[in-house]
């Protein structure tokens, strides 16, 4: 029998000390070789061409291979054909994510020195992947300007204790930092938050398969202070300024054209053909986008800031580099990085300065990591994959309503990390363009 005294026992958790950065933007940017900031339109254009060549080659090889299944018995033929097109969908979706990243870089002005070329390439590629180009570009710039800010960031903003409907913090039995939490409180938290494997799986599947359209249409996992009905398709949305109205209309036009082409394709080729050739890779692209961005900004060791402690460089360093598919071995790790142009592996650098093209990002990342390591900052997380999404979903449940620097707590109210503060420095930013 467990007594009330035993359930109130507190076992101190050994937390990982996380250094709260106090580096200036000048310090961070000066660590990067100057040539890494150079953009070449011709070189940038080679990457989406390569992505399309690979996807087209995968389609052709799969089509040829599928003809050899005709000689098989009906059941075996169906299974073989399904397997071939499933593999096509997976790998085409991976390289389709590469096209998404090129469009994303164009939105940051990293594809070319020409704003017109950036916007044209970004609008075409993003529209072709079902994303409203300017709408995403504008909200994404706001995300970069306020990454990790509890009231200004645009996406993956942690829910607080009160938003989760949990009882107020009891300092006699609980700890705001999540290091000393009584067994009784842990049990109470688990009763309120502990999910069954089935619930976790449903959440896992929902995030990865429907996360992007739900965010664009319903602001799911977006900034919680936005009013109900906020979305990326309304030109009058709170997300956008009045002078951006025409840009949102142009973005919506791209989506209408995209939808029209899908419908026309279904009539011309059949729904089955459109589904396996385009829609399955499209679903995989959405999946990769959510998986990558979720893991870049969600981890028990990543801090979030309230206004009094936030500055641009702290927000920029409120993310992690991860080897996409690295948990499946070095070959898959290489393929994941190659197909998606290293967006997961060089993401910290991308937040420090978003105008560096991906083909310079590797060299710039290694240089930046040296400077961060000298300051006691390590922002390389575990490899990014499905197992890591599962772990993070379980470990990152809520943050406290109080505190200027907060870390996620798990379903027992325990936090894996604690902040370590050093001297302060001046606040600077890196010129994120939001209103243009």
Structure token pair of residue 377: 């900052």
The pLDDT value given to residue 436: 54
- Contacts for 155-158: CB closer than 8 Å, 24+ residues apart: 155/215, 155/221, 155/222, 155/223, 155/293, 155/297, 156/221, 156/293, 156/294, 156/297, 156/298, 157/221, 157/222, 157/223, 157/224, 157/304, 158/304, 158/396, 158/398, 158/399, 158/406, 158/408
The pLDDT value given to residue 435: 52
Q: Quick count: other Cβ atoms within 10 Å of Cβ 70?
A: 8
The pLDDT value given to residue 425: 46
Residue 434: pLDDT above 70?
no
Mean of the pLDDT values across residues 130-147? 97
- Maximum CA extent, the chain: 73
Mean of the pLDDT values across residues 395-409? 96
Residue 223: pLDDT above 80?
yes
Helix or strand run (H / E) with residue 208: helix 197-218
* 1: confidence class by pLDDT, cuts 50, 70, 90: very low
The pLDDT value given to residue 336: 98
User: Whose CA is closest to 350, among 376, 379, 328, 310?
Assistant: 379
Q: What is the pLDDT of residues 325-358, one digit of tens each?
A: 999 999 999 999 999 999 999 999 999 999 999 9
Residue 264: pLDDT above 60?
yes
Measured CA to CA, the distance from residue 72 to residue 68 in angstroms comes to 8
Q: Quickly list DSSP for 26-52.
A: HHHHHTS-GGGG---HHHHHHHHHHHH
Measured CA to CA, the distance from residue 122 to residue 100 in angstroms comes to 9
The pLDDT value given to residue 194: 77
304-305 and 405-406 strand pairing: antiparallel
Q: What is the pLDDT of residues 406-423, one digit of tens each?
A: 999 999 999 999 999 976
- Residue 305 phi/psi, 5-degree rounding, is -120, 145
Measured CA to CA, the distance from residue 153 to residue 142 in angstroms comes to 7
* 203: confidence class by pLDDT, cuts 50, 70, 90: confident
Torsion of the alpha carbons at 198, 200, 203 and 204, rounded to the nearest 10: -100
Q: What is the pLDDT of residues 166-192, one digit of tens each?
A: 999 998 899 999 999 999 999 999 999
* 199: confidence class by pLDDT, cuts 50, 70, 90: confident
The pLDDT value given to residue 10: 64
CA torsion through residues 86, 89, 95, 97, sign: negative
Helix or strand run (H / E) with residue 431: none
Structure token pair of residue 32: 């990067």
The pLDDT value given to residue 224: 82
The pLDDT value given to residue 144: 97
Helix or strand run (H / E) with residue 17: strand 16-19
Q: What is the pLDDT of residues 28-72, one digit of tens each?
A: 999 999 999 999 999 999 999 999 999 999 999 999 999 999 999
Tell me the β-bridge partners of 17: 418
Q: Quick count: other Cβ atoms within 10 Å of Cβ 112?
A: 22
Helix or strand run (H / E) with residue 19: strand 16-19
- Residue 192 phi/psi, 5-degree rounding, is -85, -35
Structure token pair of residue 92: 């085409």
The pLDDT value given to residue 59: 98
Q: What is the pLDDT of residues 286-314, one digit of tens each?
A: 999 999 999 999 999 999 999 999 999 99
Q: What is the DSSP letter of 413?
A: S
* 80: confidence class by pLDDT, cuts 50, 70, 90: very high
Which residues contact residue 243 at a Cβ distance below 8 angstroms, ignoring those fewer than 6 apart? 435
> What percentage of the chain exceeds 90 in pLDDT?
86
* 427: confidence class by pLDDT, cuts 50, 70, 90: very low
The mean pLDDT value of the chain amounts to: 93
Overall size of the chain counted in residues: 436
The pLDDT value given to residue 131: 97
Which residues contact residue 76 at a Cβ distance below 8 angstroms, ignoring those fewer than 6 apart? 69
Measured CA to CA, the distance from residue 189 to residue 210 in angstroms comes to 28
């Amino acid at each position: 029998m467990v007594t009330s005294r035993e359930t109130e026992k507190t076992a101190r958790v050994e937390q990982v000390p996380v250094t709260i950065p106090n580096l200036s933007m000048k310090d961070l940017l000066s660590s990067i070789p100057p040539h890494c900031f150079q953009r070449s339109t011709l070189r940038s254009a080679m990457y989406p061409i390569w992505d399309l060549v690979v996807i087209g080659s995968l389609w052709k090889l799969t089509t040829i291979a599928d003809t050899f299944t005709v000689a098989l018995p009906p059941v075996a033929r169906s299974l073989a054909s399904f397997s071939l097109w499933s593999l096509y969908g997976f790998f085409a979706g991976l390289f389709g994510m590469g096209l998404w990243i090129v469009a994303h870089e164009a939105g940051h002005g990293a594809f070319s020195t020409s704003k017109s070329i950036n916007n044209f390439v970004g609008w075409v590629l993003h529209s072709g992947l079902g994303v409203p180009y300017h709408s995403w570009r504008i909200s994404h710039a706001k995300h970069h300007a306020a990454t990790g800010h509890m009231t200004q960031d645009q996406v993956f903003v942690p829910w607080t204790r009160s938003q989760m409907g949990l009882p107020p913090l009891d300092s006699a039995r609980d700890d705001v930092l999540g290091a000393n939490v009584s067994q009784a409180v842990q049990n109470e938290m688990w009763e309120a938050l502990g999910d069954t494997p089935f619930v976790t799986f449903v959440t896992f599947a929902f995030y990865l398969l429907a996360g992007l359209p739900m965010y664009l249409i319903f602001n799911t996992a977006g900034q919680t202070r936005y009013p109900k009905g906020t979305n990326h398709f309304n030109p009058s949305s709170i997300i956008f300024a009045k002078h951006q109205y025409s840009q949102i209309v142009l973005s919506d036009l791209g989506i209408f054209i995209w939808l029209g082409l899908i419908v026309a394709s279904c009539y011309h080729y059949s729904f089955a053909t459109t589904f396996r050739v385009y829609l399955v890779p499209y679903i995989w692209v959405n999946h990769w986008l959510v998986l990558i961005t979720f893991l870049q900004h969600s981890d028990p060791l990543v801090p979030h800031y309230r206004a009094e402690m936030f500055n641009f460089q702290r927000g920029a360093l409120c993310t992690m580099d991860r080897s996409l598919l690295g948990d499946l071995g070095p070959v898959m790790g290489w393929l994941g990085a190659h197909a998606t142009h290293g967006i997961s592996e060089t993401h910290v650098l991308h937040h420090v300065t978003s105008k560096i093209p991906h083909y310079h990002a590797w060299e710039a990342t290694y240089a930046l990591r040296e400077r961060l390591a000298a300051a006691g900052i390590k922002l390389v997380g575990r490899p990014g994959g499905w197992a890591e999404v599962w772990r993070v979903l379980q470990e990152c449940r809520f943050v406290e309503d109080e505190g200027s620097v907060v870390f996620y707590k798990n379903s027992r109210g325990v936090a894996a990390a604690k902040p370590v503060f050093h001297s302060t420095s001046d606040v600077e930013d890196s010129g994120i363009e939001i209103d243009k």
